[in-house]
């Protein structure tokens, strides 16, 4: 299993020609834009050493795999966030397509179950260079009342832990969860199991549709490895300043830990 991003950087052939090899920031900027032009215009203002980029359902549906190549040609490591959730055979083949596209990270839904996740992991194992494979546990937009409506009556944290254990036992690299669950998951599943946390909000930003939220530094303190941040950066009056301020806060925090 790939145990660190440095390992991945060493292994991925795309790193040699173009991709930024030493991304020190844990920030994954969610490029939730409606067109390739808007996403590329935004990306052209960013430094691939200062963040990675996430391409999700809206943008990928609009722009397709060509956009992944365009972003990677500009040096960005890309998290393809399509949250695959289907029968094992379909998800395995979708993950292979992500590997062929050279993305840095790809995700599935843990609620697709053990056989689906194992099939995805096995499909990627045949690549000597492969994306990190992670699974979404409980969406950060959900709280206890949302879970109850779909028949899950345990607290979100318990459901997240259950799905994270299943993810680890299925051979994946980590999970998407809220930073609120990070201390529990790090304690139960070990420090090498990657935690990717959306639902990141600055102290003064709106929660929007997110429910289980945390600030960037608090999320790292809690044990998050990567922070997915969309609107607090993309919708900021000055997105570059917002990203720079977040990275500066993170650097200061890390300096206290060194």
Ligand X SMILES: O=C(O)c1cc(=O)[nH]c(=O)n1[C@@H]1O[C@H](COP(=O)(O)O)[C@@H](O)[C@H]1O
By CB under 6 A, residue 26 contacts ligand X: no
Q: Shortest approach of ligand X to residue 58 CB, angstroms?
A: 8
Whether residue 93 is annotated as binding a ligand: the answer is no
Q: Shortest approach of ligand X to residue 190 CB, angstroms?
A: 21
Q: Which of 14, 133, 228, 243 binds ligand X (CB under 6 A)?
A: 228
By CB under 6 A, residue 229 contacts ligand X: yes
Q: Which is nearer to ligand X, 5 or 139 (CB)?
A: 139
Whether residue 82 is annotated as binding a ligand: the answer is yes
By CB under 6 A, residue 198 contacts ligand X: yes
Whether residue 140 is annotated as binding a ligand: the answer is yes
By CB under 6 A, residue 210 contacts ligand X: yes
Pick from 112, 136, 121: nearest CA to 228: 136
Q: Which of 103, 230, 243, 247 binds ligand X (CB under 6 A)?
A: 230
Q: Between vectors from CA 132 to CA 131 and to CA 135, what angle results, nearest 5°?
A: 125
Q: Which of 81, 173, 181, 225 binds ligand X (CB under 6 A)?
A: 81
Q: What six digits make up the tokens of 111?
A: 């609620």
3-state secondary structure labels for all residues of 37-78: HHHHHHHCCCCCCCCEEEECHHHHHHHCHHHHHHHHHCCCCE
By CB under 6 A, residue 25 contacts ligand X: no
By CB under 6 A, residue 56 contacts ligand X: yes
The answer for 247, left when phi > 0, alpha when psi is -120 to 50, beta otherwise, is: alpha
145: Cβ–Cβ under 8 A, 6 or more apart, which residues?
Answer: none
Is 83 a known active-site residue?
Answer: yes
Q: Which of 110, 117, 136, 160 binds ligand X (CB under 6 A)?
A: 136
Class of residue 248 by CB neighbours under 10 A (exposed 0-12, middle 13-18, buried 19+): exposed
Catalytic entry in 83, 96, 186, 194: 83
1: Cβ–Cβ under 8 A, 6 or more apart, which residues?
Answer: 171, 173
**Rounded-to-integer distance, Cα 21 and Cα 236, Å:** 28
Residue at shortest CB range from ligand X: 230
Q: Which of 25, 107, 167, 247 binds ligand X (CB under 6 A)?
A: 107
Q: Shortest approach of ligand X to residue 252 CB, angstroms?
A: 22
Q: Which of 184, 223, 231, 239 binds ligand X (CB under 6 A)?
A: 231
3-state secondary structure labels for all residues of 179-197: HHHHHHHHHHHCCCCEEEE
Helices (H), the chain: 5-11, 36-43, 57-63, 65-73, 88-100, 114-125, 144-149, 156-169, 182-189, 216-222, 231-234, 239-257
Whether residue 87 is annotated as binding a ligand: the answer is yes
**Applying CB under 6 A, which residues contact ligand X?**
30, 32, 56, 81, 83, 107, 136, 139-141, 176, 198-199, 208, 210, 228-232
Return the active site residues. 83
Binding residues for substrate: 32, 54, 81-90, 140, 201, 210, 230-231
């Amino acid at each position: 299993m790939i145990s660190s991003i440095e390992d991945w950087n060493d292994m991925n052939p795309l790193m040699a020609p173009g991709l930024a090899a030493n991304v020190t920031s844990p920030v994954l900027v969610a490029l939730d834009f409606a067109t390739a032009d808007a996403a590329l215009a935004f990306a052209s203002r960013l430094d691939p050493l200062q963040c990675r980029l996430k391409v999700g359902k809206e943008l990928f549906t609009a722009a397709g795999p060509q956009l992944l190549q365009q972003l990677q040609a500009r040096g960005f490591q890309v998290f393809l966030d399509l949250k695959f959730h289907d029968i094992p055979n379909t998800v395995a083949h979708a993950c292979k397509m992500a590997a062929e596209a050279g993305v840095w990270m790809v995700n599935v839904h843990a609620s697709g179950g053990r056989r689906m996740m194992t099939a995805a992991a096995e499909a990627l194992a045949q690549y000597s260079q492969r994306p990190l494979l992670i699974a979404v546990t409980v969406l950060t937009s959900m709280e206890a009342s949302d879970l109850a409506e779909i028949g899950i009556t345990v607290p979100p944290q318990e459901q997240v832990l259950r799905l994270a254990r299943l993810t680890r036992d299925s051979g994946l690299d980590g999970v998407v969860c809220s930073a609120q669950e990070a201390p529990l998951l790090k304690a139960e599943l070990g420090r090498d199991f990657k935690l990717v946390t959306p639902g990141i909000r600055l102290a003064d930003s709106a929660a929007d549709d997110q429910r289980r939220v945390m600030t960037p530094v608090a999320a790292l303190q809690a044990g998050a490895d990567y922070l997915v941040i969309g609107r607090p950066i993309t919708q900021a009056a000055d997105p570059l300043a917002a990203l720079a301020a977040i990275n500066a806060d993170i650097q200061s925090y890390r300096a206290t830990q060194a």
